[in-house]
Amino acid sequence: MRLPSVVAWSLHFVFGIFFAFFYTQICFLKYKIDNIWLKGIAFGFTAFVISQILNGFLNIFYQTPLIEVSKLMITISNILGHFLFGIVVVRIVGDSYNHCKA
């Protein structure tokens, strides 16, 4: 998108906050999974899949620069980063914003 790095990282941060609020509305993750670590990984994986879909759409409209690193390593680091994000969100939010009934 040819944005300055500070703008790109700010957008990433804002989307992260949006997904953290989105987590508070996902009933199936909050009640179907009892283990908090697995809950975080499931949410992080959901955020990863959505980010890959959005990146696919962005690549249609904006030409992204070629990456000279292994795509496998980038994918693995993205998945691990999203797992960490999911775990942090679940640990912070927990069940405190629960609007769903079991």
**18: confidence class by pLDDT, cuts 50, 70, 90:** confident
pLDDT tens digits along 70-80: 888 988 999 99
pLDDT tens digits along 57-68: 877 777 766 677
Cα gap 90→39, rounded to integer Å: 7
pLDDT tens digits along 84-94: 998 998 888 87
CB-based contacts of 10, cutoff 8 Å, min separation 6? none
What are the residue boundaries of the structural domains of the chain, listed by start? 5-93
**Reported pTM:** 0.76
Burial class (CB in 10 A: 0-12, 13-18, 19+), 73: exposed
